[in-house]
Amino acid sequence: MDIKSIIDGNEKFRKNKFKKYEEKFVDLVQKGQKPKVLYIGCSDSRVLPHLITNTGPGDLFIVRNIGNFVAPFKPDEDYHSTAAAIEYAVSVLQVSEIIVCGHSHCGAIAALYDRPDGAEMIHVRKWLGLGNEAKKYIETNSTTKGLSLEKKLAMTEKISVVFQLTHLLTYPKIQELVNAGKMNLRGWYYKIESGDIEYYNEELQEFVSMGIKIEH
């Protein structure tokens, strides 16, 4: 797809799809956005949050970055894009749900096992450090010995989501809300090849298909 196709796509959107949501957009402008869910996902072009969740305008506050990583809370005044979005979602929009959604065939996770070189990739290499815990967990786990790289990557993609959830709990406000039962943190894993989503079941400590209900 080239830039002309994208521009033409906007024209088609204005003439066709916008009409479907016109009243909704007007309402969102007049009353402001009030999403209850913060979705933290990967920048991968194959993973479209609104498409895979069948949501519309105003439903999700979305943060996307390479690897759907969450940097632990750091109380300084440096530039922290993902942290700033998290703070805004939690303190201003007052979301009650945070989803960290990983996915299959993730380039960021693959790069943990084959680090990019070159001065032009300095920020990418630094950012990938947020996945080191997951990689180390897989490499030091006795149950993963002898597994193919493909299976190790899939396991790393999933366990990385769990580590990002722990990073979210380093944010004081999030920890406070979770402890008070006013916020839920959810780990998801989306399979590009099938459209299925698995969620992290904390009780079982494993990812389970979204369609399977666990009896308590």
* pLDDT for 12 beyond 60: yes
Query: In Å, what is the CA distance from 120 to each residue of 68, 109, 124?
Result: 21, 19, 9
- Distance of alpha carbon 178 from alpha carbon 191, whole angstroms: 28
Helix, strand or coil for residue 209? strand
% of the chain exceeding 90 in pLDDT = 90
Which of 101-110, 113-122, 135-144 is modeled with the greatest confidence? 101-110
Residue-range domains of the chain with CATH: 1-32 (no CATH), 33-209 (3.40.1050.10)
Segments of the chain assigned E as strands: 37-42, 60-65, 97-103, 184-190, 197-201, 206-209
Total-model pTM: 0.94
Cross-strand bridge partners of residue 186? 99
From CA 111, how far away is CA 129, in angstroms rounded?
10
Q: For residue 148, report the phi and psi dihedrals to the nearest 5 degrees.
A: -70, 160
Model confidence band, residue 213 (pLDDT cutoffs 50, 70, 90): low
Q: Which of 148, 41, 156, 151 has its CA nearest to residue 101?
A: 41
Q: How many degrees, rounded to 5, is the angle at CA 152 between CA 149 and CA 158? A: 145
